[in-house]
Structure 1
Amino acid sequence: MARTKEFDPDAALQSALELFWRRGYEATSVADLVEHLGIGRASIYATFGSKHELYLKALDRYAESVDPRLFADLSGPGPALPAVRTVVRRFAAEAASPQERLNGCFVTNTAAELGAHDSVAARRVESSWDRLETLLLAALVRAQAQGELPPERDPRALARMLLVLLQGVRVVGKASADPARVRDAAEQALSLLD
């Protein structure tokens, strides 16, 4: 007879996400996971696989929680350009927030820590960025079609610029104690949409 799990795998995955997000991949040992999740090493391996597999599952969970909010923000009815501006300003405000800035963005953290030498993690990061760029592009194309964005603007180039800005805001916000730095950068980028 198979033994039933004595823990909630979904709650354990969420706890692992929070630990990896706060500490990073390299700084989180399996012993740290055992202590933080409150489950044995064998249970972690049996349920999630290796530490690396658990990290990737946590990264996927993070993306699943962030993407619907961005989709809702950028795909709603009505004027599109105010929605883009709201998203950019929210990223800047979160990056400047003392509470939020310590963790940063899990995807951006992964890119900085693992992107150069972990092709599987890099593909996950790239996929997340592709989704964000696509959402921004769709909103900017809609804004242009509705007359909110001048016809000479290139929506694809603007979407890419905003993607890079948003990721940069996350990195700078995490390390800088000056909230004006990220807010000013966001406002300058938004001026390109006028």
Structure 2
Amino acid sequence: MGRNGDFDVDRSVDRAMDLFWRRGYTGTSLQDLLDVLSIGSLGFYEAFGSKEQFSLRALERCSALQVEDLVKILEHAAEIRPAVRQVLVAMIEADRADPSRGSGAAGEAGEAGGDGAGPSVAERAVAALCRVESALAGALDRAKSRGDLPPGKDPVELARFLTTFVQGLRVVGRARLGRSFVQDALAVAMCALD
């Protein structure tokens, strides 16, 4: 089927993002995308250009939604520790609720460096992680200005650590480790704010 007036590009990207989460870039065929979008190849190419361009759009949309949610939590927080914990738990729980999703942008960044995906996919995946890091760094910097973080703590270094921590848990989460493993790791990560 070709693209018609009822075709909603953003909704289509939302529906297909799950394929990339579950299967990765190279594991998702063009036919898989056509099937989930209920669109023909001509309509797909008219709307998105190519599988790579579609993947870039999906990564950007996913990143925008993730950062938007993260910023909402962090901007309205009276104290940084509960807010950071809430953000980390939300990210971890989203993956635990559906462990088949894979490792998100970290997985795309790693996979895109290999065969099948162009460098722009890897660059966008890294940019997505940088936006998460930037949102955390901004919140941590504001917290430091309020005296909510010890003076010797570097907000950028903490944000990099927390971003890496969550991505690491996403990768490790594929092994379906128990809740106590995740809770122990989270408790130690929160100590970085002390």
Please say whether Structure 1 and Structure 2 have the same fold, judged by a TM-score greater than 0.5: yes
Unaligned runs of 5+ in 2: none
How far has the Cα of 1:68 moved from its partner? 0.8
- Superposed CA offset, 1:24-70 (max 9, x none): 21111112222222111111111111111111111111112111111
Query: Which residue does the alignment assign to 1:155?
Result: 155
- Superposed CA offset, 1:125-159 (max 9, x none): 22112211121112222222222211122222211
The question of 1:87 aligning with 2:87 is answered yes
Q: Aligned Cα RMSD in Å?
A: 2.1
Give TM-score scaled by structure 2 length. Answer: 0.86
Kindly tell me the number of residue pairs found equivalent between the two proteins: 190
How far has the Cα of 1:75 moved from its partner? 1.6
- Name the SS of the counterpart of 1:16 in structure 2: helix
Unaligned runs of 5+ in 1: none
C-alpha distance in 1 between matches for 2:153 and 2:6: 57
The question of 1:40 aligning with 2:40 is answered yes
The question of 1:110 aligning with 2:97 is answered no
Query: Which residue does the alignment assign to 2:17?
Result: 17
* Higher mean C-alpha displacement, 105-114 vs 167-176: 105-114
Assess if the C-alpha contact under 8 Å between 1:62 and 1:106 holds in 2. Answer: no
Aligned AA (1:47): A
How far has the Cα of 1:71 moved from its partner? 0.8
Change (3 A) 1:182 1:76: same
How far has the Cα of 1:18 moved from its partner? 2.2
C-alpha distance in 2 between matches for 1:92 and 1:184: 13
Assess if the C-alpha contact under 8 Å between 1:17 and 1:62 holds in 2. Answer: yes
C-alpha distance in 2 between matches for 1:6 and 1:75: 36
Q: Pick one of 98, 101, 105 that aligns with 2:99.
A: 101
* Higher mean C-alpha displacement, 85-94 vs 70-79: 85-94
Change (3 A) 1:166 1:8: same
Change (3 A) 1:148 1:170: same
Change (3 A) 1:23 1:143: same
